[in-house]
Amino acid sequence: MAPSSVVVTIENPRSISLVEVNDLNSPSAFRDKNKAANPKRFTKVLLLKAQRTLGCIPWLANNLFTTFASVKKRIALSDERDEEPKYRGKLYRFIRVFLAISVAALFIEIFAYFNQWHLNLVNPWEVQSLLQWTYMAWISFRADYIAPTLATLTSFCIVLFLIQSVDRLVLCLGCFWMKLRKIKPIINEDASDPEGGSYFPMVLVQIPMCNEKEVFAQSIGAVCQLDWPKDRMLVQVLDDSDDEVLQQMIRNECLSWKEKGVNIIYRHRFIRTGYKAGNLKSAMACDYVQDYEFVAIFDADFQPNPDFLKLTVPHFKGKPDVGLVQARWTFVNQDENLLTRLQNINLCFHFEVEQQVNGHYLNFFGFNGTAGVWRIKALEESGGWLERTTVEDMDIAVRAHLYGWKFIYVNDVRALCELPESYEAYKKQQHRWHSGPMQLFRLCLPSILKSKISVWKKANMIFLFFLLRKLILPFYSFTLFCIILPLTMFIPEAELPPWVICYVPIVMSILNILPSPKSFPFLMPYLLFENTMSVTKFNAMVSGLFQLGSSYEWVVTKKSGRSSESDLLAFAERESKNMNEEKISRRLSESGLELYGKIKEHEEVPKKKKANKIYRKELALAFLLLTAAARSLLSAQGIHFYYLLFQGLTFLIVGLDLIGEQVS
């Protein structure tokens, strides 16, 4: 046998037991066989792919059928009372009137198109029909009077759009420069420690909450496991819940950690005014607070890592002018559905770019309300927590900046939290986030103008922080893309250029997605959804600017109580029913059986079922944009048609509440 031979033994006795191949270096023995096999193999691959494609058709058909059935049921069960009046109001009536006029104009344009009425090129004395003369008069009137006014408004919005785009580009360039030069906040290791040892100042940790049944246990557990000397940390659980059973459950949770050696206090207000600001203000009024130098704040759905304080508090060391250290948020449910994915894009840009750039170059940014550590002296000198707006976090940040305090943002320190999973919760959150800044702007403008900070800082706060990013952005987004664009389809003399509709928005969306590169497949959904949310943000901005009633309402964002895998493992034992029953029987002054019966009775009370809603304002805008898309077909406007079509469909999906959590 040759040295290069290969022996293959086959254990089947009926088969050949020995196979010799004397020349392995020459593939000629298999070439003919491969040539014959390749076409067959290629055919099998094609057939397999075709089979998989055909197998998707029943799945797709079933999903479409299920979606249409749920939409039909949703529409049948919808009631105008389901959607709160503050989310409709005068803007909704305006959109309905605009829609009715647009539908009527579309029918007239279609009639004129098929009758080939190109009357703008015809001598008025040659028109014989009264209907034709009326149509020609309308064309002349819109060209002479309406089009110039609309063109002026369009130019104004385009200028605002370009200014905001430049601002976004500058922020991205600043972030890129920080990444390139590896610029990060530095802890002052050389600063002297008066105690001569490790830097462990007295820290107060506050957890404000209100009816947070789903998340209170994991939040309290995460805070109580912070790696900080127990004798130099106090945890305040600030419970504003109006449910007595829930209050007792939270009190029990605090007692369980107190037994483990954690310095923790449960506080409940009898007079619950001022929402979160009132809760924090009441807690800071306690006598023992004067013994603490810093206060860390975490909302009820936040779960900081054990090393959170060790990574944030040292940034105050040797820097007496630093009033706030803000950490970044990360999300346990960012991949839950399309809505959470789109929110993640926005918030990644906010933290990675806006907060980081403003923190480094300006030492000022808006406090995010949670996952931050304040110097208590900065809070006190700035006037403490005020109840005058629904954005108490931004309020205290602005006042502290006016008093000369500096802020530090640490992008590497992160706290886990939740994103709203339903469109209803997200919409209410965005309404508060965009109405509050306008309330604050009205109240703070005199103080900003009278403050002793530099002219540059005043200009930055007024024109960039408030006007450009809080007022101009929702104004031009809604006005330009939801009102002016469909209007120009019926008044073609004031047509929007394609680069405004398509090219620049896509570039800006790409810049927004850069901090979360895994979200690039969602570029177009993100662009369309942001324009869809402009109606909510515009409505909120107007209500806050003009002190409408809805701007002062605080709605707690609904939580689902999701935890990361590590959290589930850490809290599984404490959250089990057996442990809860043991806590009840051991700790309460009243009998354990009595409270246990209350909890069981509370669980058996029929609750209002969650259900998806119909949002009429979004639906009205959907039909308005689809009507304008149909009109653009008559003018053969390609980009305008596709934009209006897909934007209208996006409004339709959002209006039918098909984007977030779906309740079966």
3-state helix, strand and coil shares in percent for the chain, rounded to the nearest 5: 60, 10, 30
- Per DSSP, the three-state class of 406 is strand
297 near 372, Cβ under 8 Å? yes
Helix axes 244-259, 577-587, angle to 10 degrees: 90
φ, ψ of residue 118 in degrees (nearest 5)? -95, 65
From the candidates 239, 240, 299, 301, which is the catalytic residue? 240
Q: Indicate the SS3 state at residue 236.
A: strand
Task: Report the DSSP beta bridge partners of residue 235.
Answer: 205, 264
CA dist 460 → 385, 440, 456 (Å): 24, 16, 6
Catalytic residue check, 240: yes
Q: Rounded distance, CA 318 to CA 193, Å? A: 9
Q: CB of 207 within 8 A of CB of 235?
A: yes
- Least Cα distance to 532 among 643, 651, 421 occurs for 651
For residue 150 the two structure tokens come to 């609309």
Q: Are 642 and 627 in contact (CB under 8 A)?
A: no
Instruction: Return d(Cα 356, Cα 347) in angstroms, integer.
Output: 12
3-state secondary structure 171-191: HHHHHHHHHHHCCCCCCCCCC
Taken in order 499, 648, 621, 473, is the CA torsion positive or negative? Answer: negative
> Rounded to whole angstroms, how far apart are CA atoms 105 and 98?
10
Q: Count other Cβ atoms within 10 Å, centred on residue 197.
A: 7
Question: CB–CB of 552/294 below 8 Å?
Answer: no
For 534, the token pair is: 């402009």
| Three state DSSP letters for 99-152 | HHHHHHHHHHHHHHHHCCCCHHHCCHHHCCCHHHHHHHHHHHHHHHHHHHHHHH
Q: Note if 393 is an active site residue.
A: yes
Residue with tokens 């459950």: 249
Tokens 């008044």, located at residue: 491
What pairing do the DSSP bridges indicate for beta strands 233-239 and 203-209? Answer: parallel
The C-alpha torsion from 148 through 153 and 157 to 158, rounded to 10°, is 10
Catalytic residue among 239, 301, 393, 657: 393
Q: What is the DSSP string of 290-337?
A: GG-SEEEE--TT-EE-TTHHHHHGGGGTT-TTEEEEEEEEEETTTTSS
User: Both tokens of residue 268?
Assistant: 């409940």
Q: Which residues pair with 463 in a beta bridge?
A: none
Nearest to 434 by CA among 519, 329, 530: 530
What are the residues facing 208 on neighbouring strands? 238
Beta strand pairing call for 372-375 and 294-297 = antiparallel
Q: How many whole angstroms separate alpha carbon 169 and alpha carbon 507?
A: 10
Between 423-450 and 338-349, two packed helices, what is the crossing angle to 10 degrees? 20
Instruction: Find the helix or strand (DSSP H, E) in which 228 lies.
Output: none
Return the amino acid letter for 76. Answer: A
Q: Which residues are catalytic?
A: 240, 393
